[in-house]
Amino acid sequence: MTGFFPPLSRPGSQRGRGGVAAGTGGDPFRVLGLEPRADLADDEVHAAWRRIASATHPDREDGGDLPRFAEAAAAYTVLRTRSGRGEALADRHATPPAASGQATRPTGRVMHGRPVRLALRTLTAVAAAVGAVAAAGPHPAAPALVTGIVTWLLLTARHDLAPAAVRPPVRWQDQLPGGGKMSERGSGREPTSHERRSGQPWDASYHDGPAPWDTGHPQPAIVRLAARGGFAGAVLDAGCGTGENALHLAALGLAVTGVDVAETAVAMAQEKARDRGVEAEFSVADAFRLDRLGRTFETVLDCGLFHSFEGGERPRYAASLASVTAHGGTLYVLCFSDDGPGTGPHPVSQEDLRAAFSRGNGWHVTAIEPDRVQTRYHDENGAPAWLATIKRI
Ligand SMILES: C[S@@+](CC[C@H](N)C(=O)[O-])C[C@H]1O[C@@H](n2cnc3c(N)ncnc32)[C@H](O)[C@@H]1O
């Protein structure tokens, strides 16, 4: 979760930029012979890929059709998940027809385009090439297969090289005192390690479409936890983002407060609460200074925040949480785990959790269970996670 990724690493976040280009051979739907529909199912996409793969596979007696096989492999990479399909559909709507079929003009445009996105897509192409070659097996035609995928990348690179009409980057410094954007409670804070690393404030994660962790739904792990009665009394959601978990708990009748340093996320959470007619309080606050809230909670939730903090930040955060958790109360931490495969960024070990929340600083870890965290860039199964239950002593 930035807690997953820095903002720039958002996969396909820029409408009109994600996925394969529309146009001859570039539209992933067209490549797989699929109708571009929002309700396409995984099975339909998989079946289309299997159909084309078996008709074009280089192992066929007739030698197959390597460029088509490679193109289909790349298209399948884009369309295999629901979020990938959503972004490819958005691309189709956002790509002006004139752009289709234009020649690639890489020189001098990279710096004005989206070099990070280009790098990500290059990585995708490399992954697709490796996957396709693995599927083709030790075949003399493998180099041609790779050439097909590289050709796809070159043909579609114009989307990364086009002049970027985006807002100027927001620097975390602009949001600190003097920048005038932080609210009183959030102001005066140091940038977090994540903000220093990415060079952007957390708020920037919410500027250009959904953040990588913002699936638009509560995390299934939290839904299950709530269903088995895990939440009681006043609930604090620390680092609530746009509030899906908090809103789920509030809809169950719990008194929920969500706090986050990202003003945009807090505003979005407040708007969702209004739209859904759910009573929940959301405000801008720094998780390192929760004492400033001036109250305590029986249950505290951390979904994706702890794992974004590094060594020195963790004891400070644990102390801040302790200052607002009632004695005997419960803290739940849902974080990426280090128990792969497919671990997310910032994987956390059980030892990390036990070191951060110990009896010495007022906590007792009563359970650490394996679970999953869903993101916009993993498939439906999400990434491996720990769900830690930690008692305030
Ligand atoms: C990975 S996101 C998870 C958001 C939300 N819990 C969810 O599951 O969708 C981490 C969130 O923590 C927030 N955050 C980061 N540092 C924070 C801090 N010091 N105080 C409060 N919130 C913070 C970020 O703005 C971001 O919204």
| pLDDT, tens only, 284-309 | 999 999 999 999 999 999 999 999 99
Whole-angstrom distance, CA of residue 251 vs CA of residue 240? 15
Q: What angle do CA 212, 224, 393 make, to 5 degrees?
A: 95
Q: Verify whether ligand 1 is closer than 6 Å to residue 182 (CB atom).
A: no
Mean per-residue pLDDT for 66-79? 78
- Per the CB < 8 A criterion, the answer to whether 85 and 79 are in contact is yes
- Per the CB < 8 A criterion, the answer to whether 81 and 89 are in contact is no
Mean per-residue pLDDT for 142-165? 64
Position with higher pLDDT, 318 vs 104: 318
Atom index in ligand 1 nearest the CA of residue 242 equals: 9
Alpha-helical segments (H) within the chain: 28-31, 42-56, 66-79, 82-94, 115-136, 142-156, 158-161, 172-175, 193-198, 220-227, 244-251, 263-276, 313-324, 350-356
pLDDT value at 244 more than 70: yes
CA 304 to ligand 1 center in whole angstroms: 7
Mean per-residue pLDDT for 79-98? 73
CA–CA distances in Å: residue 142 to residues 54, 56, 57, 129, 386: 16, 13, 11, 9, 40
Mean per-residue pLDDT for 344-362? 96
Whole-angstrom distance, CA of residue 26 vs CA of residue 12? 16
CA–CA distances in Å: residue 182 to residues 28, 164, 186, 237, 240: 42, 27, 6, 20, 17
Atom index in ligand 1 nearest the CA of residue 286 equals: 20
Q: Verify whether ligand 1 is closer than 6 Å to residue 263 (CB atom).
A: no
Question: What DSSP state is assigned to residue 189?
Answer: P
Q: Verify whether ligand 1 is closer than 6 Å to residue 19 (CB atom).
A: no
CA 353 to ligand 1 center in whole angstroms: 18
Q: What is the CATH number of domain 220-392?
A: 3.40.50.150
Rounded to the nearest integer, the mean pLDDT of the chain is: 81
Residue 288 backbone zone (phi > 0: left; psi -120 to 50: alpha; other: beta): alpha
Atom index in ligand 1 nearest the CA of residue 265 equals: 27
Q: Whose CA is nearest to atom 4 of ligand 1?
A: 241
Is residue 341 reached through a cis peptide bond, with omega within 30 degrees of 0 on the bond before it? yes
What's residue 20's pLDDT? 34
pLDDT value at 377 more than 80: yes
Position with higher pLDDT, 62 vs 79: 79
Atom index in ligand 1 nearest the CA of residue 3 equals: 1
The count of other CB atoms within 10 Å of the CB of residue 123 is 10
Q: Verify whether ligand 1 is closer than 6 Å to residue 265 (CB atom).
A: yes
Residue position matching structure tokens 């009665």:
229
Multiple choice CATH, 17-103, 3.40.640.10, 3.40.1160.10, 3.50.50.100, 1.10.287.110: 1.10.287.110
Mean per-residue pLDDT for 345-351? 94
Per mean pLDDT, which of 78-92, 112-126, 310-324 is the most reliable? 310-324
Q: Verify whether ligand 1 is closer than 6 Å to residue 301 (CB atom).
A: no
Q: What is the pLDDT of residues 170-225, one digit of tens each?
A: 444 444 433 334 343 445 799 999 999 999 999 999 998 999 999 999 999 999 99
Residue 332 backbone zone (phi > 0: left; psi -120 to 50: alpha; other: beta): beta
Pocket test for ligand 1, best of 305, 310, 334, 373 (most atoms within 8 A of CB): 305
Which run of H or of E encompasses 300?
strand 297-303
Whole-angstrom distance, CA of residue 74 vs CA of residue 125? 7
pLDDT value at 168 more than 80: no
Whole-angstrom distance, CA of residue 391 vs CA of residue 359? 10
Whole-angstrom distance, CA of residue 118 vs CA of residue 161? 8
Q: Verify whether ligand 1 is closer than 6 Å to residue 241 (CB atom).
A: yes
**Cβ-count burial 221-239 (b if 16+ within 10 Å, e if not):** bbeebbeeebbeebbbbbb
Query: Nearest to residue 210, comparing CAs of 284, 141, 264, 140?
Result: 264
